[in-house]
Amino acid sequence: MIVIGSDHGAFELKSVLVEHLKSKGVEVCDCGVFDATSVDYPDVAQVVCEKVNSGNYEFGILLCGTGIGISIAANKIDGIRCALVNTEYAAEKAKQHNNANVIALGGRVLGPDLAKNILDAFMNTSFEGGRHQMRIDKIHALEK
């Protein structure tokens, strides 16, 4: 199962991605928002990241207008490795090298087809481990 959430700046793209995932048979927990009413993206990041940290979800997806603010908020939460991705290549590397457990996308900077391709690239990539795990361990040591 995958958990997803967005602020008002990306709720339309979030809806596209939810439908894309469901069409692939992926179970999705949609934490909202569901319209253009203004919300604060740190609140959305907290809800999604807490669910990711619960261990009940494969990974999380966060969206705001650019993806920048919500990714910064997500990375303040212990245990979260959120990668802001704008290309398929970046999505692959986020998983291969960083074992990102959350990806952030910008609803005002990505078209729906590219966003779906980025999501597919992330989901179809595996973590390489090895020297990358040592780096992730160092990242988590910074949280202490």
Backbone angles phi, psi at 4, to 5 degrees: -140, 145
**Is 64 known to be catalytic?**
yes
Query: Which residue among 29, 64, 82, 140 is the active-site one?
Result: 64
Over residues 40-71, the pLDDT tens digits come to 999 999 999 999 999 999 999 999 999 999 99
3-class secondary-structure state, position 94: helix
**Is 8 known to be catalytic?**
no
Query: Angle formed by the axes of helices 88-96 and 112-123, to 10°?
Result: 20
Give the C-alpha separation, 53 to 32, whole Å: 18
Residue range of the domain that includes 7: 2-141
Query: Which residue among 29, 97, 132, 140 is the active-site one?
Result: 97
Q: Tell me the pLDDT band of 144, cut-offs 50, 70 and 90.
A: confident
**In CATH, what number is assigned to the domain containing residue 28?**
3.40.1400.10
